[in-house]
Amino acid sequence: MTAIISQDLPTAGPPGVIGSGQDGGLREQVTGYIQRVRSGEMGALPAVAGFVVLCVLFTTLSPYFFTERNFANLMTQAATLVMLAMALVFVILLGEIDLSAGVTSGVAMSLFVVLSNPGGLAMNWVLALLISLATGVVIGLFIGFFVARVGIPSFVVTLGLFLGFQGLQLIIIGDGGLYRIQQPEIIAIQNSNLPVWGGWVMLALILTITLVTTLLDRRRRSRAGVASRTIALLWIRLAIIAVLGGVVVGLLSQNRGTGFLAVSGVPIVVPITLLVLWIGTFVLDRTKFGRYLYAVGGNPEAARRSGIKVVGIKWAAFVVCSTLAVISGVFSASKVGSVDAAFGRDIVLSGVAAAVVGGVSLFGGRGRLIHAAVGALVIAVITNGLGLLNLPGGVNFLVTGGVLILAATVDAVSRVRAGGSILRS
């Protein structure tokens, strides 16, 4: 028996000591990462690679692609999808789906325009916005009741709402109605920019927050007496953020106006999206709600036996999803400049596609917000790039669909090659 056990002695470190994957120098960390990727835990890696390849491709094909103007344009085009994909992650992690996320934003924004427009009820726009967000909360509670409490599959519940809410939207807006967004503050989200110094302050803030949280984590870990990852990784990460962020902010700080008016700075929608991304990631990684979301998505029975209130977690996830979906609606309304009866109808499946392209598993339990965000960028860059090439609209859909299937195939093949199964985790 001893012989059997000694065969399985750990290869790294002295015998009997169990590692944490955080020990060792830079070399060990890098080989550890490569091992994880090889065993199928690729995360957003394929999506990032896809994004880079697409950018290079479009840059060579179109002189307009790699310009400051198109860069800013791409960000504002992508913002709505990024936000919606991040919203969907919360329910997809549970292995659920919310097909009504798009029309939820439609209902909320219809309410917003009817309540706030001078031609309508002329309500204070902040109040109207809060009511829209509250509408998202209520819709989330409603979906959560049927899915978590009654036990109907979320596909069915949200499919029902997808159909029903189109009607509700039509009733709120009125037949063939279209309201222009008249609040300059809402329009500004997608159409105005931070001052040039604001972009640099934003980048400095990101670097500071990364530095401070990592250092706090390290202090906490060393107080507990366990190893932290080598500090070199922190410097590398900061360097990457500084360089990439520097290039982006630098480009956006150039004048990209075409007329007399100078246009420069980071679009306001960017810091809002980054803030939601940061808060959401913080909640998912470091709080009980986030951990339990992954646990319920991985094995609901195990979660229940561990004393986790599965119904409550599911319910909360749908509320978060619907509420963030309303924010994506605000982005969309700001970009389009108007809300009509079809607002938000078509985007939801793109949101699901974005999450999957980014590496979020539809079976639940696997994926991060940043994955969905990168996936959304990939889909947005396809639309943007093909648009610049003046290809017919049909090509866009074909390419997007192809990329989705390609992403799912890469994921599945890497798992099978690593000896895992296609299904589940």
Partner 1 sequence: MDAPIIELTDVKKSFGPVSVLKGVSLKVYPGKITALVGDNGAGKSTLIKGLAGVQPYDEGEVKFQGVPVALHNPREAAHLGIEVVYQDLALCDNLDIVQNMFLGREDIELGTFDEGKMERAASETLQSLSVRTVKSVRQKVSSLSGGQRQTVAIARSVLKSAKVVILDEPTAALGVAQTEQVLALVKRLAERGVGVLMISHNLVDVFQVADYINVLYLGQMVASVETSRTTSDDVVGYITGSKTYIEVSA
Question: What is the contact surface with partner 1 in residues (CB under 8 A)?
Answer: 1, 4-6, 8-12, 15-22, 39, 41, 217, 220-226, 282, 286-288, 291, 294-295, 297-299, 301-303, 305-308, 365-366, 420, 424-425
To the nearest whole angstrom, how small is the minimum distance from the Cβ of residue 145 to partner 1? 24
DSSP string, 384-425: HHHHHTT--HHHHHHHHHHHHHHHHHHHHHHHHHTT--SS--
d(CA 309, CA 154): 18
Quick one: which of 272, 266, 281 has its CA closest to 210?
A: 281
Q: Which is nearer to partner 1, 229 or 256 (CB)?
A: 229
Task: For partner 1, give the closer residue by CB, 41 or 68.
Answer: 41
In the bound state with partner 1, the residue whose beta carbon lies nearer, of 208 and 222, is 222
Q: What is the Cα–Cα distance from 352 to 176, expressed in whole angstroms?
A: 28
- Give least dist CB 324 to partner 1, A: 21
Please state the closest distance from residue 144 (CB atom) to partner 1, in A. 21
Closer CB to partner 1, residue 6 or residue 390?
6
Return d(Cα 310, Cα 77) in angstroms, integer. Answer: 36
Q: How far apart are the C-alpha atoms of 20 and 75, rounded to whole Å?
A: 38
Q: What minimum distance in Å lies between the beta carbon of 234 and partner 1?
A: 16
Spatial distance between the Cα atoms of 226 and 64, rounded to a whole number of angstroms: 51
CB of residue 154 vs partner 1: minimum separation in angstroms? Answer: 19
Give buried/exposed letters for 249-265 (b at 16+ CB in 10 A, else e): bebbbbebeeeeeebbb
CB of 90 to partner 1, least distance (A): 15
**Which amino acid is present at 64?**
Y
Instruction: Closer to partner 1 by CB, 88 or 114: give it.
Output: 88
Give me the residues paired with residue 150 across strands: none
Judged by DSSP in three states, 110 sits in: helix
Q: Between residues 70 and 228, which has the closer beta carbon with respect to partner 1?
A: 228
Give me 228's structure tokens. Answer: 């932290």
